[in-house]
Chains A and B, each alone.
Chain A
Amino acid sequence: MYLNDFEYFAPKTCGEILDLVGRLGTKAKILAGGTDLLIMMKEKMLKPDYLIDINDVQELKGISYEPGKGAVIGTATKISEIEHSDLIREKYFALSQAAGELGSAQVRAMATLGGNSCHASPAAETPPPLVALGAKVVVKSIAGEKELPLEEFILGNRKTTLAEGEILTKFLLPEPAPRSASRYSYIGLRDAMEIDAVNMAVNLALEDDGRTVKSLRMVMGSVSPVPLIAVEAQGILIGQVFNQELMEKAAQAASVEANPISDIRASAEYRREMVAVLARRLLQQAFNAASGTKEGNW
């Protein structure tokens, strides 16, 4: 399994990348971790004429944080860096969990946060927590920069809004609300190296009373071409005092909202059911964490 011939570029700055993508257009592909791109090239699903390797561009890497404003994660930041970041674990736990569950140690050392979103696989691990955490992406071109929510960036299976000449440069994560918590989980056959049959992230914030749901984001993966926000389910809980009955209602609503397909990994029916299971478990965990209740002791 060999790759097609291509010309290789390893720019050092964002400006150089923009220059290259502007010049080379759709015949070029951005090489970040390569864990998806190179496999697709090996399987001859893609035959780009140019590869632009962005791993040497320091300004696209790393995690920074400013209290009150939130975190900024460069597009070329490795999943393993996110997995091991104390800051991410403390502030954006669902993302930390998703990063830790992605592929294997090798894949996490290679793959990047930006790659995981730009590849736009419906089963991707990090987009659901990012969307749940309210992440925005920064898209840059020679013309300038724009910010948009990640859920608007991912359009479908392997489709994003990225137009010719544009690249994704970073993720902006807002400061988590007080008394909030986020959780992520997935359903797969094995406990490693899985393509998730279903995954989900929940980000829940409580009012000062520690019981009423102030805001909630529930995002499901692998049950729709894009990370799917469970709007109905959220509506059931927002503004209400969190309780078992409403949680169950929300879980059922999420299950109805899911739009899964049957494939080699799971049937649509099973996926739909698992949405309810994940919703129940994650809502409970997130509520416990946000309210300061001990886990599992609600």
Chain B
Amino acid sequence: MNKPNYTQVGRSVPRIDGPLKVKGEAIYTDDMVLPRMAYGKIKRSPYAHAIIKKIDYSKALELPGVIAVITGEDGPNKWGIVPQTANEVALAVGKVRFWGEGVAAVAAIDEETAEAALDLIEVEYEPLPVLLDPQESMQRANEVRIHEDAPENILHAGEQLFGDPDKAFAECTYVLEKEFHTSYVNHAFLEPHTALASFDTPSGQLQMWSSTQVPHYLHRQLSIVLEMPMNKIRVTLPAIGGAFGGKGEASPADFCAALLSRKIGRPVKVTYERSEVFATNKGRHPCHMKMKIGLDQDGYIQAIDFDNTLDGGAYAGWGIVVMFYTASMIHLPYKVPNARARVRRVYTNKPTCGAMRGLGGVQPRYAMECMLDEMAEMVGISPYELKMKNAVESGYLSVSNLHVPHTEYKKCLQTAVEKSGYLEKHGKLPFGKGIGLAGGYYISGTAYTLYQAYKPHTTVLIRVDTEGGVTVHCAAADIGQGCNTVMAQMAAEELGIRYEDVHVVSGDTETGTFDLGSFASRLTYASGVAIKDAAAQINQKLKEVAAGMVGCRADQLEIKDGRFYSKFEPKKAIEWEKVVDVYTNAVGTLVGIGHFSPPRLKGIDLTRGKRVQGANIGHSPTFGFSCQIWEVDVDLETGKIRVAKVTEAGDCGQAVNPMSVDGQVEGSIMFAMGQALYEEMRLDAEGKMINASLHDYKVPTAMELPEIDTTIVDSYDPTAPFGVKESGEGPVQPTIPAITNAVYDAIGVRFTDLPITPEKVLRALKEKQALNSECSGS
């Protein structure tokens, strides 16, 4: 299918919320003040694992200005983004399971008083043994149990078998097996969690403003914890200061604000300190992975065996989903005919892990792309050639039944290789300088809701009338990624008008129609389908009116540049506004409602035709692909890695807003570079985080910005609305292995754990040197 000639889609337009943000006038939750508003603060545990013997807050209540204190008993219902594993509570009940877990919350007339009151709450603990390592946690499960209902300290374990990997390995010419370990990293979005709850006692209505990326899931969880019907709760999103998955679940700030507000009948705002953002974490799972890959004599992948122990921290969160995503991610972007995955997600006494940009993909991608780099050497071809040989093509169906309707992955590899001069440089640079290649992919939305409902995932309502012009309603969450702008562009495209003339009402469960939320890179695709659907209804109605005005058949009309015209006699035309005016006068406000339901794809072992546990996870209507090539200079004396250049080429389908896509890609590159080289949350032996600040948790600064060259490869997915795919999570996938492969090219050392610090580099260089002199000496 040929790509249509778009006028609104494919344009690099400035985002619609840009001016308010640069003026400092965009309102974030913590900027809001309501009449009679109180401030809430949460008392946190200094122990990583302890029984709560007693909480005495009588002295806190005596402090002038303190209005109320709540504890776990005030809202003990268990919540969780995945209903089957819901085991979190607003505030700890009976026991704390990680350092920083909330045990009580105070509402006071101002934040300072609330903070002072925390010191007056006396909590008596009985410390329990602390488990910080997943292996140890499993081994000592008989003796120390983190959750009563998880006797092995395991949230869930699963095994997926596709084809016959054992047989395939036996026939492989090249087999490599390695272990990889990834680090404990946090999103470090800039705006700490914040929630403002206003409970109206007479009507029993709760209004929430929250910094969340999932208004709908927050809505559901509030309903559970507060025991209120969802139709009595309204969730509204002010501007959101970044999320990256860290706001992809409800947070205790939400529950504490709501519970306190209901208790005292006045608005309550809870805003976290930076240390609380770290303490409540929900960042990327550290993974302890074993991967085995087998190639035939020509370098084609025959089998993969993947074993992954995920360190989940104290609670379930997104855990089971992340776990099965890591299993699904070995099936693409290469053709893998036989595969086995054994995965388990283990409880430890750490702040809980959850969803983080590119969830479930980053860790196995690191292992797989590094191993393929190494195996190319075994085969005696370049990593580029090996990856080109194995890369999937449009229409590919994996052995696990993942369907790839369209891909330009090979074009991504080719483009990045050509632009970077990879083939001329790889293996040929002087010692200390290196170039590394890695590819990756990501989903563009999921196939299922987390609570097994098969309703549409997104609904868009477009309203058109003389007074309001065009308004797109959808409860989607613009968390900074720019979905409002993209929705305006897509609606304008379909309606034949300019994007500047489209208003978007999003981020509100009452004024917006249903949407699941901003995660899994789902929104451009999902809202695109719904927008097309809704706009088609609008266009149909308007064409009927315009036909009479222009004097031709409705089905011969086209709409473009704000005009209806006959496609056979383009001079027969009329302005769009005039048609709307006539329609509004005759009928009133015009609305169109569109829905998006993803295809219900099943995780099946195609060789046996059998369903596979957990393998529904990983399916997506389409997938984005990309390749990154990193060039590094390693300081051989200090071990410091300086990044000289990054060349990226990505297949995001048709870019709706290329400038915005570039922003997503560049942001992803720096985001993942942080995990590769600098970032790691560190705990002491008792489980207390020792770098819960942006001082010692080191995210990249502008000084770390290398030269970045990105290309949006020409792509159009004919099965997707406007030909679109994701662009915000795929580009984090290749970064870590590309850096690691570049470091190998520079110094001949393959790093299998993160971050690759100067100290580790130097140690490795020394070991290599010692080995070399030993060999040459003998």
Chain A residues within 8 Å of B637, by CB: 277, 280
- Asked if residues A2 and B115 are in contact (CB atoms below 8 Å), the reply is yes
Closest chain A CB from B765 CB (angstroms):
11
**A269 CB, nearest partner CB in chain B, Å:** 8
Is the C-beta of A236 less than 8 angstroms from some C-beta in chain B? Answer: no
Q: How far, in angstroms, from A265 to B690 measured CA to CA in the complex?
A: 11
Which residues of B lie under 8 Å from residue A277 when comparing CB positions?
637-638
The stretch that binds A, out of B314-322, B376-384, B697-705, is: B697-705
Residues on A with beta carbons closer than 8 Å to the beta carbon of B77: none
Give the shortest distance, in Å, between B411 (CB) and chain A (any CB).
35
Is A189 touching B638 in the complex (CB atoms < 8 A)?
A: no
| Minimum distance in angstroms from A89 CB to a CB of chain B | 21
> Across the interface, do B273 and A192 meet the contact criterion of CB distance under 8 Å?
no
Q: How far is the CB of B64 from chain A (nearest CB, A)?
A: 15
Within 8 A of A (CB), among B698-731: 698, 700-704
A186 CB to closest chain B CB (Å) equals: 11
Size of the chain A interface, CB-CB below 8 angstroms:
18
Asked if residues B762 and A192 are in contact (CB atoms below 8 Å), the reply is: no
Q: Which of B112, B691, B700, B762 is in CB contact (< 8 Å) with A190? A: B700
Residue on B with the closest CB to A274? B638
Chain A residues with Cβ under 8 A from B677's Cβ? Answer: 189
CB-contact partner of B762 in A2, A265, A273, A280, under 8 A: A273
Chain A 163-197 interface 0/1 with B at a Cβ cutoff of 8 Å (1 = within): 00000000000000000000000010111110100
On chain B, the residues within 8 Å of A191 by CB distance are: 701, 703-704
Q: How distant is B639 from chain A, measured CB to nearest CB, in Å?
A: 8
CA of A204 to CA of B591, assembled, Å: 80
**Complex Cα distance A120/B539, Å?**
72
Determine if B273 and A264 form an interchain contact, defined as CB atoms under 8 angstroms apart: no
Q: Which of chain B's residues have a CB closer than 8 A to the CB of A270? A: 758-759, 762
- Report which of A187, A189, A267, A273 forms a contact with B698, defined as CB distance below 8 A: A189
Give the complex CA separation of A193 and B762 in angstroms.
Answer: 23
Query: Is B696 an interface residue when CB atoms closer than 8 A count as contact?
Result: yes
Closest to A265 in B: B696
- How close is A273's CB to chain B, nearest CB, in angstroms? 7
The answer to whether A189 touches B696 (Cβ under 8 A) is no
Give Cα A288–Cα B630 distance, bound, in whole angstroms.
34
Q: Does A37 have its Cβ within 8 Å of any Cβ on chain B?
A: no
Contact partner, A189, options B111, B112, B758, B762, Cβ 8 Å: B758
Q: How far is the CB of B1 from chain A (nearest CB, A)?
A: 47
Chain A residues positioned under 8 Å from B762 (CB to CB): 270, 273
Point out the residue from B273, B678, B703 that lies within 8 Å of A1, measured CB to CB: B273
A273: B residues at CB distance < 8 A = 762
Q: Is A266's CB within 8 Å of the partner chain B?
A: yes
**Contact B702–A192 (Cβ < 8 Å):** yes
Please state if B759 and A190 are interface contacts (CB–CB under 8 Å): no
DSSP class of B's interface residues: helix, strand, loop or mixed? loop
Task: Kindly report which residue of chain A lies nearest to residue B759, judged by CB atoms.
Answer: A270
Q: Which residue of A lies closest to B275 (CB)?
A: A1
Query: CA separation between A209 and B115, bound complex, in Å?
Result: 67
Q: Are A190 and B273 in contact (CB under 8 A)?
A: no
Q: Is B757 located at the chain interface by the 8 A CB criterion?
A: yes
B682 at the interface (CB under 8 A from A): yes
Report A1-57 residues with CB < 8 Å from chain B CB: 1-2
Q: Which residues of A contact B640 (CB under 8 A)?
A: 187
Determine how close the nearest CB of chain B comes to the CB of A5; give it in whole angstroms.
10
Whose C-beta in chain B lies nearest to the C-beta of A44? B119
Judged by a CB distance under 8 angstroms, whether B695 is at the interface is yes
Give complex CA distance A264, B693 in Å: 13
Mark B724-761 against chain A: 1 for CB-CB distance below 8 A, else 0.
Answer: 00000000000000000000000000000000011100
A43 and B703 CA atoms in complex are apart in Å by: 28
Given A190-B700, A191-B703, A270-B762, CB of A264 within 8 Å of CB of B691: yes
* B115 CB contacts on chain A under 8 angstroms: 1-2
Residue of A187, A189, A277 ringed by the most chain B CB atoms within 10 A: A189
Type the 1/0 row for B657-694, where 1 means its CB is closer than 8 Å to any CB of A. 00000000000000000000110001000000011000
**Is B112 a contact of A2 with CB atoms below 8 Å?**
yes
Cβ distance A143 to chain B, nearest Cβ, rounded Å: 39
A190 touches B682 (CB 8 A): no
Chain A residues whose C-beta falls within 8 Å of the C-beta of B691 in the assembled complex: 264
Contacts of A267 in B (CB 8 A): 759
- With A195-B695, A264-B690 as given contacts, are A190 and B701 in contact (CB-CB < 8 Å)? yes
Least CB distance from A47 to B in Å reads 13
Q: How far is the CA of A189 from the CA of B682 in the complex (A)?
A: 16
Chain B 590-606, CB-CB to A under 8 Å as 1, else 0, gives 00000000000000000
B457-468: contact bitstring with A at CB < 8 Å (1 yes, 0 no)?
Answer: 000000000000
User: How distant is A206 from chain B, measured CB to nearest CB, in Å?
Assistant: 25
Nearest-Cβ distance from residue B208 to partner chain A, whole angstroms: 25
CB distance from A119 to the nearest CB of B (A): 15
Who on chain A is nearest to B680 by CB? A264
Residues on the A chain within 8 Å of B701, using CB: 190-193
CA distance in complex: A1, B276 (Å): 12
List the B residue with the shortest CB-CB distance to A2: B112
Given contacts A264-B690, A267-B759, contact A192 B703 (CB under 8 A): yes
Residue of A nearest to B700 (CB): A190
A190 touches B638 (CB 8 A): no
The interface residues of chain A lying within 8 Å CB-to-CB of B116 are 2
Q: Say whether, besides A264-B696, A277-B638, A189 and B703 are in contact (CB < 8 Å).
A: no
Q: In the bound complex, what is the Cα–Cα distance between A270 and B704 (angstroms)?
A: 22
CB proximity of A121 to chain B, nearest CB, Å: 13
Contacts of A1 in B (CB 8 A): 115, 273
- 10 shortest A-B CB distances, which residue pairs? A191-B703, A192-B703, A192-B701, A277-B637, A270-B759, A2-B112, A189-B678, A193-B701, A189-B698, A277-B638
29 A-B contact pairs sorted by A residue (CB < 8 Å) = A1-B273, A2-B111, A2-B112, A2-B115, A2-B116, A187-B638, A187-B640, A189-B678, A189-B698, A190-B678, A190-B698, A190-B703, A191-B701, A191-B704, A192-B702, A192-B703, A192-B704, A193-B701, A195-B695, A264-B682, A264-B691, A265-B696, A266-B759, A270-B758, A270-B759, A270-B762, A273-B762, A274-B638, A280-B637
| Further pairs besides A190-B700, A264-B691: 11, Cβ < 8 Å | A2-B111, A189-B698, A190-B678, A190-B703, A190-B704, A192-B704, A264-B682, A265-B696, A267-B759, A270-B762, A277-B637
